[in-house]
Amino acid sequence: MFQPKHYEGSPEERYTLLLRQLDALIEDEPDLIANLANASALLGQFLETINWVGFYLLNDANTLVLGPFQGLPACTRIAYGKGVCGTAVAHQRTQRVDDVHLFPGHIACDAASRSELVIPLFRHNTLIGVLDIDSPVEARFTETDQYYLEQFCQRLTADCAIERQEALE
């Protein structure tokens, strides 16, 4: 599905390039949705062997609602504590799952997915959503992936407005 660009160098060097690309994309753009859309496209271009990448945003009812993404159509709403994404919200920490079929309560939006990485998004210490990445490869995500993608999420939300209205004012 994705045709990622080939990047040379070590994983650390490639992720450093990714972070620089993110910084350039979001510089001077405070709108969260615009930045999430570009970030999902950037990750879809950068990450190899994934079949879905995108964001879910936490609403006032403590439900995750589908945001910008790259991939096949996805679950629109995920309840607090349900599946890998809901578990990341409930525990407020990253979930790296080597085999989603062994994860209790896994929500199968795409039966081809075998592993998953879900990283909570925080804005001023408030949970606002998650980055969700699926792969058809078992144990696809490493500690290095997790570390740099957590940095990616921190940079992404650091200067974005939570309310779309904030960006328009």
Burial pattern 96-116, b for ≥16 Cβ within 10 A else e, equals: bbeebeebeebbebbeebbbb
Q: What is the pLDDT of residue 114?
A: 92
Q: What is the pLDDT of residue 165?
A: 36
CA distances to 8, 13, 102 from 54, in Å: 24, 23, 22
Q: How far apart, in whole angstroms, are the C-alpha atoms of residue 142 and residue 165? A: 37
Q: What is the pLDDT of residue 121?
A: 97
Q: What is the pLDDT of residue 168?
A: 34
Q: What is the pLDDT of residue 8?
A: 77
- Residue 141 structure tokens: 């995500």
Amino acid at 104: P
DSSP bridge pairs for 131 = 55, 119
Pairing of strands 95-97, 77-79: unpaired
- Residue 107 structure tokens: 């929500």
Q: What is the pLDDT of residue 166?
A: 39
Q: What is the pLDDT of residues 24-57, one digit of tens each?
A: 999 999 999 999 999 999 999 999 999 999 999 9
Q: What is the pLDDT of residue 108?
A: 72
Q: What is the pLDDT of residue 169?
A: 32
pTM to 2 decimal places? 0.90
Point out the residues of the chain with pLDDT beneath 70.
1-7, 159-169
